[in-house]
Structure 1
Amino acid sequence: MADEVPAELKPAPLSGSGRETYDDRPIHAEPGELPPEVQAPLAEYKGAEPPAPQWFKDAIAQLPERSFVESLGTRLEVLTWGEVGKPGLLFVHGNSAHADWWSFIAPFFAADYRVTSMSLAGMGASDWRDRYAFSDFAQDAEAVARATGLYAGGRKPIYIGHSFGGGQVFFAAVKHPERMHAAIMVDTGFGPPPEEMARRMAQMEAVRNIPTADRPARIYPTMEAALARFRLMPPQPAGNPYIADFIARRSLKNVPMPDGSGEGWTWRFDPNMWAKLNRDQDMRGEGPAPTDVKTPMVHIYGAKSRIVEHRKAGAPSPFPAGMIEIEIPDAHHHIMIDQPLALVAALRALLAAWPG
């Protein structure tokens, strides 16, 4: 995500422990409000691509098939790897992200699985909507899974979702357990403790310069200028800048400059997604937290993420008691950026032995 996104809350400062405040909604921060490695992790590269290791080059060289699937009148961007007829995996990204957040992870599974990564409606190259709802995201995931052959192997697919996408995977698993074999959430939370949320809500009126319908997102004159403003949300350093750069470049699109001087760059996601999101539904489904979750579930989280701390402090969580949880050392919220190979190893080991 980038700092020129719609904001609802200002960020709390990073603590000395290196743990970031968890909230995957876009927020705004003024220049200098965060440390440089958090505020603008790509600025020092001045538009150049950071050096990358060979494993990463080999992974992204396994180019996906790029196509679109229609769901509820919306075209959804999908990337696919592997042969139809093998067990299906569906990867779902976080808020304001896109399908390419998994482009350097998914190829590690293509030999054994039919793999799909989708861009949620309003994000990536998928169409925007007048309104967004958890139930619609669940319907979209099912449409994508069927259209890309994830059921063709004779077994229902396994859904894997990060952050906000993990929330959508959880919602779909609870409401439609018949659609999936299992669900894996990656560093997925459900908001901070009530007292912290109250404090943040009180700060909302102080936030200014937020893109809205009548105050559009900023357009940058060059790719370099746009990359210099990219940052992760919730705020954290970019553990591997070459991954952040890969993601950031694919987060941008060409648009006309307001003064007619040519084309510039802006972020691809709908800046008003949160304002359009139907909050009558939440990641738990309707009513209180479910007590009978039928879908096998696992949660993978970063050791430096605030997810577990918030839950211990009283943050709401509908995860079932006794659910398997796997910690990835030396990782913040964006595990695929901080510890991509550790995430691959954890997923591989998990899929080899679970859910049976």
Structure 2
Amino acid sequence: MTEDWVTDALRADVELGAVDVDGVPIHYRAWGEPGDEAGIVLVHGGAAHSRWWDHIAPFFSADRRVVAIDLSGHGDSGRRDEYLMARWADEVLAVAAHGGAGPHPLVIGHSMGGMVAITAARLRGTELAGAVAVDTPFWEDQPEEQAAGAQQAFGPLRRYDSRESALKRFKLIPEQDGNVAAVYAHIAETSLKEVDGSWTWKFDPNVFRGRGRPVPLELPQCRVAVFRAEHGLVPLDMGERIAERLGRVVPVVEIPLAAHHVMIDQPLSLVTALRTLLADWTHSEPHKPSA
């Protein structure tokens, strides 16, 4: 696959912004202008950041405002003493309003970000156009939590003498093959920050400690969809359980050939699936479950 499209996407015009949420600055990136269609908020996974979406967001910005958030404890946003799903959901809605993706945005979250999206749908669903969880393993610890608990990764942040030596230590959790090289390199490079002449990772290791589980899966007051990667962390039976719990009104869409980090190994398939879903949601009425 030629990667020229990645270069073009990364060159797209982007705006930077920040909004204070409960005393913590929450940073975001934004593409496009507000249009007739609902804006989109893109939510990264655990230990990730907004720039995981840099090559995805421009595909949706022709007629929508698209905003990618750095949740507190991630990316360029501030840190908290405690990280909770409900507060992250509040950050998503605050960024949507401040960044021009409101008043009724569509929230798309990957992995842990999918839990944030579903939490927002459950707690503040009347303020959303919909929520999409991408390869989010509900009822199980996220892969980052498992690695942190086993002390395999995400411990105290190491510092490296050079950017190059730090980049050599970058890896995905869980690891996977078949990644688009230009996307992988971009995400690795934007995961670092310079501190007092050395280099370290942007996330706060404390995000994996005591942040609480998401609210129970119950029928939200907005549309919801679940995407699963064919070789990811959501097996088919879990997708069926999610649909059952949410009242059988939730589509479960499989991204073929994809591993967990779908936007890195199958980004164009993810774009196509999301575009198809948005086209359907734009031109159809929500299904009303029977009493």
Please tell me the TM-score bracket, short chain as reference: 0.7 to 0.9
**Which of 2, 5, 8 matches 1:58?**
8
How far did 1:320 drift? 4.2
Give how far 1:133 is off: 0.8
**CA distance in structure 2 between the aligned counterparts of 1:167 and 1:182, rounded to whole angstroms:** 14
Q: Of 205, 208, 233, which aligns to 1:271?
A: 205
Structure with larger RCO (C-alpha < 8 A, sep 6+): 1
Encode CA deviations 1:229-248: one digit per residue, 9 max, x unaligned.
11111232351122111001
Partner of residue 93 from structure 1, selected from 44, 58, 68: 44
Partner of 2:287: none
User: Is the alpha carbon distance of 1:318 and 1:230 closer, same or farther for their aligned partners in structure 2, counting shifts above 3 Å?
Assistant: farther
The alignment partner of 1:230 has SS state of coil
- Report the Cα distance in structure 1 between the residues aligned to 2:153 and 2:96, rounded to whole angstroms: 39
Question: Are the equivalent residues in 2 in contact too, given 1:300–1:328 (CA < 8 A)?
Answer: yes
Verify the 8 A CA contact 2:226 2:239 in the aligned structure 1: no
Deviation per CA, 1:235-289: give whole Å up to 9, x if none: 3235112211100111000012xxxxxx1210000012112x332xx22x1xx54
CA RMSD, Structure 1 to Structure 2 (Å): 2.7
> Structure 1 pair 94/69, CA: closer, same or farther in 2 (3 Å)?
same
Contact 1:77 1:119 in 2 (8 A): yes
2:9 is equivalent to residue 76 of structure 1 = no
TM score, norm. by length of structure 2: 0.87
> For residues 227 and 255 of structure 1, what CA distance do their matches in structure 2 show?
15
Instruction: From the superposition, tell whether residues 169 and 289 of structure 1 become closer, same or farther in structure 2 (CA, over 3 Å).
Output: closer
Determine the structure 2 residue equivalent to 1:260.
Answer: none
Q: Residue 189 of structure 1 corresponds to which residue in structure 2?
A: 137
Matching of residue 162 in structure 1 with residue 110 in structure 2: yes
Amino acid aligned to 2:275: R
Letter matched to residue 211 of structure 2: N
Unpaired segments ≥5 residues, structure 2 = 285-291
Query: Which AA in structure 1 matches 2:137?
Result: G
Amino acid at match of 2:95: V
Quote how far apart the aligned CAs of 1:164 are: 0.3
**Higher strand proportion, which one?**
2
User: What letter corresponds to residue 10 of structure 2 in structure 1?
Assistant: I
Instruction: Pick the aligned partner of 2:266 from 304, 314, 339.
Output: 339
In the other structure, the counterpart of 1:233 is 173
CA contact (8 A) 2:225 2:252 kept: yes
Change (3 A) 1:228 1:69: same
The 5 Å alignment of 1:275-314 reads 275=209, 277-279=210-212, 282-283=213-214, 285=215, 289-290=217-218, 292-308=219-235, 311=238
Cα 1:118–1:207, aligned 2, differ >3 Å: closer, same or farther?
Answer: closer
Query: Is 1:146 aligned with 2:86?
Result: no
Percent of aligned positions that are identical: 36
Q: How many residue pairs get matched? A: 278
One-letter amino acid of the structure 2 residue matched with residue 125 of structure 1: D
Q: 1:20-54 deviations in whole A, cap 9, x for unaligned?
A: xxxxxxxxxxxxxxxxxxxxxxxxxxxxxxx9711
Query: Kindly tell me: are residues 210 and 352 of structure 1, through their superposed partners in 2, closer, same or farther at Cα, counting changes over 3 Å?
Result: closer
Given that residues 59 and 271 in structure 2 are in contact (C-alpha distance below 8 angstroms), is that contact kept between their aligned partners in structure 1? Answer: yes
Name the larger-Rg structure. Answer: 1
Partner SS, residue 177 of structure 1: helix
Distance in 1 separating the partners of 2:82 and 2:2: 39
* 1:156-212 superposed Cα distances (whole Å, 9 cap, x missing partner): 11111111001000011011111101111111112449xxxxxx79x95x747973x
Deviation at 1:63, TM superposition (A): 3.0
| Partners of 2:135 and 2:233 within 8 A in 1 | no
CA distance in 1, matches of 2:226, 2:272: 15
Which structure: greater helix fraction? 2
Structure 1 residue runs without a partner (length 5+): 1-50, 194-199, 257-262
Task: Letter of the 1:336 partner, please give it.
Answer: M
Name the TM-score, length of structure 1 as normaliser.
0.72
